[in-house]
């Protein structure tokens, strides 16, 4: 068993404003962060107990006492799992500088899937927009 990181995407994160940053750091439950529970369940249903193929895209060296991280493109039956997450609106694509080659081998497909998901009003991008533009 090996820990695998999906390349070029990031999971849903909690958006914090300055008032919340000043408060003490508390642990948030999985279901309190929007779309994080759905993301985990999507991966659990798709991957647990299934045979997948992984292609190493890049790795990062660990800082201090952390281990190195290896980022993969994970395919199951010809379906890219990262692209599925992004197209469902359950993850966002990491933006890289043009000179940075450490990215997914399917990076353009990930960007297209994110564009389509945001146009269809799916997932994390819409939640971030709504939270930042609430009227008081």
For 98, list phi and psi in degrees, rounded to 5: -65, -30
| Residue 43 half-sphere exposure toward CB, CA atoms < 13 A | 17
Compute the distance between CA of residue 68 and CA of residue 62 in angstroms, rounded to an integer: 4
Each of the 136 residues of the chain gets a pLDDT tens digit; together they read 678 899 999 987 766 655 555 554 566 666 677 778 888 899 999 999 999 999 999 999 888 888 889 999 999 999 999 999 999 989 999 999 888 888 999 999 999 999 998 888 887 554 454 444 444 4
Q: Say what the pTM is.
A: 0.76
Compute the distance between CA of residue 39 and CA of residue 2 in angstroms, rounded to an integer: 20
For 113, list phi and psi in degrees, rounded to 5: -65, -40
Which residue matches tokens 């991966």?
43
Please, what are the domains in the chain? 5-16+27-132 (2.40.50.90)
Q: How much is the pLDDT for 4?
A: 85
């Amino acid at each position: 068993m090996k820990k695998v990181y999906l390349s070029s995407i990031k999971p849903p994160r909690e958006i914090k404003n300055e008032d919340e940053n000043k408060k003490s750091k508390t642990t948030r439950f999985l279901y309190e962060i929007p779309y994080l529970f759905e993301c985990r369940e999507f991966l659990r249903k798709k991957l647990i107990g299934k045979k997948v193929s992984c292609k190493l895209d890049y790795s990062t060296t660990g800082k201090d006492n952390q281990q190195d991280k290896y980022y993969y493109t994970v395919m199951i039956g010809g379906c890219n799992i990262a692209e599925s997450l992004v197209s469902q609106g359950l993850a966002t694509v990491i933006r890289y500088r043009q000179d940075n080659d450490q990215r997914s081998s399917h990076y353009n497909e990930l960007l297209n899937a994110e564009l389509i998901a945001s146009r269809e009003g799916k997932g994390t991008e819409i939640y971030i927009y709504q939270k930042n533009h609430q009227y008081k």
